[in-house]
Amino acid sequence: MSSILSKENGNDGNAPKAVDRDPAGAEARGSDFSPRLSFGVPDFLLIIVLVMAGLIPFVFGTLRATKESDFEKVAILTVAGQEVWRCPVGNGSEPSEFTYSSQEGILIVRADKSGAWVAHSDCPDQICVRTGKISRAGQISVCIPFRAVLRIEATNPISDAWIHPDGIDAVSE
């Protein structure tokens, strides 16, 4: 492969082919031995290839974001606004359990590849437990007595294709 900027002169055996095919150019070089930079078709093609290669992450990143199966999510438990536990949710994620203790008692949350849920709470109304498993980005399960919020978030920016089931911003309930 030729270099992008190759030094052209009569002693250079690796002179670009375009120059070799051009006797008029060779004659011109014969009368002018001063070094100069040239730019050949292969160089141009190389630049195009490199530019396109550089765009690959952007192009595939955009495509990825529109595929539902590629959405990676995370379950996050916050208590009084402070994050106390985080667990990936999705294909390949390992089941996980976390127990939070306070003067209210204990709160147990679990997560697996399909979602996260409050498995047990010592709160009186049990609204958090009844909420059951949450799996979509934006969904929450709240335990008021513990001031705890279990939330599913997409770790990648959510697609704005609004019919996408994960592309919600809030739940009216």
Partner 1 sequence: MKNPAGLQRDRIRKGMAAIVVVAFFLFFPASCSGLKKETDATEAKEEIFAMNTYMRIEVRGREAKEAVNAGVKEIYRLENLLSRSIPESEIFAVNSAAGEEYTTVSAETFQVISISLLYSEMTDGCFDVTVAPLMDLWGFSSGDYRVPNPSEIDDVMSSVGYEMVRIEEDSGRVMLEKKGMSMDLGAVTKGYAGDRVLAVIQQYDIESALINLGGNVTVFGKKKTGAPYHVAIADPENRGEYLGVLAAENQSIVTSGGYERFFESDGKVYIHIMDPETGRPAETDLLSVSVIDADGIKCDILSTALFVMGKDAAIGFWRENPDFGMILSDSSGTLFVSQNIKEEFSVADGKSVVYFE
Judged by CB under 8 A, the chain residues 79 through 98 that form the site for partner 1 are 80-81
Q: Token pair 């980005």 is at which residue?
A: 137
- The burial of 55, by beta-carbon neighbours within 10 Å (0-12 exposed, 13-18 middle, 19 or more buried), is given as exposed
Contact 92, 113 (CB under 8 A): yes
Contact between 33 and partner 1 per CB under 8 A: no
Contact between 46 and partner 1 per CB under 8 A: no
Site string for partner 1, 114-153 (x = CB under 8 A): -x--------xx-x--xxxxxxx-xxx-x-x--x-x----
User: Residues 6 or more apart from 111 whose CB is under 8 A from it?
Assistant: 75, 87, 89, 93, 95, 96, 97, 117
Which of these, 167, 171, 129, 164, lies nearest to 146 by C-alpha position? 129
Nearer to partner 1 by Cβ, of 94 and 169: the residue is 169
Contact between 38 and partner 1 per CB under 8 A: yes
Which stretch in 20-28, 59-67, 85-93, 103-111 sits in contact with partner 1 by CB under 8 A?
20-28
Q: Positive or negative CA dihedral for 52, 56, 57, 61? A: positive
Chain contacts with partner 1 (rule: CB under 8 A): 18, 22, 24-25, 27-28, 31-32, 38-40, 44, 47-48, 51, 58, 78, 80-81, 115, 124-125, 127, 130-136, 138-140, 142, 144, 147, 149, 160, 162-163, 165, 167-173
